[in-house]
Amino acid sequence: MISGLPNGSNLDSSALQPWKLRGQAFDWGKQTYLMGVLNVTPDSFSDGGQFNTLEAAVKQAQRLVKEGAHILDVGGQSTRPQADTVSLSEELNRVVPVVQALRIAENQDAIISVDTTRAAVAKAAIEAGADIVNDISAATYDPEMLPIVSELKVPIALMHIRGTPKTMQQLTDYADLMAEIYEFLARRVDAAVAAGIASDQIILDPGVGFAKTCEQNLEILRKLPQLRSLGCPILVGVSRKSFIGRILDQPNPMQRVWGTAAACSAAIAFSADILRVHDVAPMRDVCKMADAIWRPIDL
């Protein structure tokens, strides 16, 4: 039996300032929110090439919203291990038309985040209708990111990573994994606030799978409550990732749904507020069940 199993650890989320975006309330601590992955790339690790046309992207976005996604996370740059960096113009061409199309489609009120490490892409996407910036580098790759987000007055998700997607899996040696993640994220929160971003507009992501081994990913899930004192909603992305494949001996990311479900349930138990997922419909049911167990909700 795992020691330190949480006893109401999610109650701490209820102290966070609620959000309201496009009429949708985010009442932290009351339920888990789902961020649906919309990769408009040819080379993402599990769905590359499936949604990199405008028509396919809009159709997938509408499906994700119908299945229960609270946020659509649009990304035009793969962040899988060993991924090459695309040019700025290519990333803009992939992302901005999709955001624009989503704003005039049936799900025009959907909340959209843009998954990018470039300030220019963030700015263009927000101006096209996106609502949140999701930066896997915690705004360390582009020094203009925090000033731009401050200017745009939108929320930002800051993730822990070492190196780049090209090099990160060579950088998994930690003296104290959770302490280093905590310290990194604390510094990035301070930097964001110093740039003029309100502290209640920051989301934190421990970066499961980014410069982490299988065992370290499991440790992150067990020790998520250690990040609670940073005072921000916690975003966790475990969906279809390689550590699940390793444990299940399942090389096909598309066949890791049940492993993802188990990891998502654990993340909820250990205080996650948002889950970034590919398979929204089954994870919606996971969230409903796990929330009924772990959160103080009325059935």
Helices (H), the chain: 54-67, 88-104, 119-128, 145-152, 177-194, 214-222, 242-248, 257-269, 280-294
- pLDDT level of residue 9 (50, 70, 90 thresholds): very low
Q: pLDDT at residue 45 above 60?
A: no
What residue segments make up the domains of the chain, in order of their start?
78-87+115-294
pLDDT of res. 179? 98
Which residues have a Cβ under 8 Å from the Cβ of 71 and sit 6 or more positions away? Answer: 33, 34, 35, 36, 110, 111, 112, 113, 132, 274
Q: pLDDT at residue 2 above 80?
A: no
Catalytically annotated residue among 241, 256, 284, 295:
241
* Strands lying side by side in the sheet with 132-135: 202-205, 156-159, 132-135, 111-115, 71-75, 33-39, 274-277, 235-236
Dig out the tokens for 243 from the structure.
Answer: 């550590």
Catalytically annotated residue among 228, 240, 276, 295:
276
**Could you confirm whether 276 is annotated as catalytic?**
yes
- Residue carrying structure tokens 């994994």: 177
Task: Average the pLDDT over 254-276 and give the result.
Answer: 97
User: What is the CATH number that goes with domain 78-87+115-294?
Assistant: 3.20.20.20
Q: For residue 45, count other CB atoms closer than 10 A to its CB.
A: 18
Q: What is the pLDDT of residues 115-155, one digit of tens each?
A: 999 999 999 999 999 999 999 999 999 999 999 999 999 99
Lowest-confidence pick of 35-44, 168-177, 238-247, 268-277:
35-44
**Could you confirm whether 59 is annotated as catalytic?**
no
pLDDT of res. 6? 45
Full-model pTM: 0.92
Q: pLDDT at residue 255 above 60?
A: yes
Q: Reduced to 3 states, what is the DSSP secondary structure of residue 204?
A: strand
pLDDT of res. 7? 42
